[in-house]
Amino acid sequence: MGLRKTIATALLGFAAIAASPALAQASCDRACLEGVAAGFMAAMDAKDPAKVPVAAGFHYTENSVPLTLGDGFWATYQNKGSYSRYFADVPAGQVVWFGTAREADRPVLVSLRLKVVDRKVAEAEMLIYRNAEHVAKLEARAKMPAFDETLPKGQRPSREALVKAADSYFNGLTSGAPVAFTSDCNRVENGIQTTNNPEHKSPSFPDPAFNPFNMTCDQNMKTGLWRYIQRVEPRRYVLVDEERGNVVGMFMFVHPGTIKEVDSPTHGKVAMPANARIPSHVLIAEAFNIRDNKIRAIEAVEVGLPYGQPDGWQGR
């Protein structure tokens, strides 16, 4: 009787695992997910896509374009660089790596997202940003520590609260809706710190008294400069890490190019930079660290695309 009960309990457990993605991924913890991502890069080092264990229905895109493993950046990649950061969502089986690499003897910035099912790669999504000067600056800068800090169990927000806080950022960009930031918030985009950075200046804003990149996250958002981003869609929140308060997603910024200037609530009428006055899409892998429902750190890898270009994941 005891043996039958044990077998019945085990069968119920297996059924629960099959029905629940969270339980199904329990066998691949944070270290396992990071290991799968490291193994993907090791396969690139070896120029051998067969070393990547892929699941049935595997789908891969590079800068939004569906490709076969071994094509594209796989053929031109040389080796990893010195910058590396992992994000993991154990229940969802998602892992994201931000790091630098070498291509044509120049540094490039890479975002790699993997969906892991039964320790096999079901989805791979890679962005490659090619600007050697910006990437070199990232390698020279210390990493923002907020993303790696573990929160005490009683202070961990829910998955829903984390996504809501991150989503408020895009509503703020496009409509001026309120966004809550911590006082020490910083943002890094394509290797460049774009807040609290007096050294970074853009010819698009020649007035020396007006440098949006030397503002706090809150001040920068309240300028309203980013209204030329008319929509952010799709918004794919692919990874939520309650243990560290991190959210990572893949987002498409839609720039119709029709907004020539914005009426800034803080600085009056401001002419938009040249790149905002042409139609384009920008695909972004963006990570947020959230503390007490406020955004504390932002790191992004961004790739410009032709206007109307899909992200390669519709309907999947």
CB 217 within 8 A of CB 291: no
Residue 208's pLDDT is 73
What SS3 state is found at 193? Answer: strand
How many CA atoms lie less than 13 Å away from 14 in the CB half-sphere? 6
Cβ neighbours of 203 (radius 10 Å): 7
Domains of the chain with bracketed CATH: 21-140 (3.10.450.50), 148-305 (3.10.450.50)
Q: What is d(CA 37, CA 24) in angstroms, rounded to the nearest whole number?
A: 19
Q: How many CB atoms lie within 10 A of CB 217?
A: 25
Buried b (16+ CB within 10 A) or exposed e, 119-153: bbbbbbbbbbbbebebbebbeeeeebebbeeebee
Who's near 6: CB < 8 A, 6+ residues apart?
none
Sign of CA dihedral 194, 195, 201, 203: positive
Closest C-alpha to 95, from 113, 108, 118: 113
CB neighbourhood size of 238 (10 A)? 21
Quote the pLDDT of residue 210: 83
Quickly list H helices, the chain: 2-19, 21-24, 30-45, 73-76, 132-140, 159-175, 217-222
DSSP 210: -
pTM greater than 0.85: yes
- Long-range contacts of residues 176-179, Cβ cutoff 8 Å, at least 24 apart: 176/224, 176/227, 176/265, 179/218, 179/221, 179/295
CB atoms within 10 A of CB 207: 8
- pLDDT tens across the length of the chain (316 residues): 333 332 232 223 323 333 344 444 448 999 999 999 999 999 999 999 999 999 999 999 999 999 999 999 999 999 999 999 999 999 999 999 999 999 999 999 999 999 999 999 999 999 999 999 999 999 999 899 999 999 999 999 999 999 999 999 999 999 999 999 999 999 999 999 999 999 888 777 777 778 899 999 999 999 999 999 999 999 999 999 999 999 999 999 999 999 999 999 998 998 888 888 999 999 999 999 999 999 999 999 999 999 999 999 998 8
- In angstroms, what is the C-alpha Rg of the chain? 21
Range 24-32, long-range pairs (CB < 8 A, 24+ positions): 24/93, 24/117, 24/118, 25/90, 25/91, 25/92, 25/93, 25/116, 25/117, 26/90, 26/91, 27/118, 27/119, 28/90, 28/93, 28/116, 28/119, 29/90, 30/88, 30/90, 32/116, 32/119
Question: Using CA atoms, how far apart are residues 13 and 5, in angstroms rounded to an integer?
Answer: 12
Burial of 12 (C-beta count, 10 Å sphere; 0-12/13-18/19+): exposed
Structure tokens at 110: 């890479």
Q: What is the pLDDT of residue 5?
A: 34
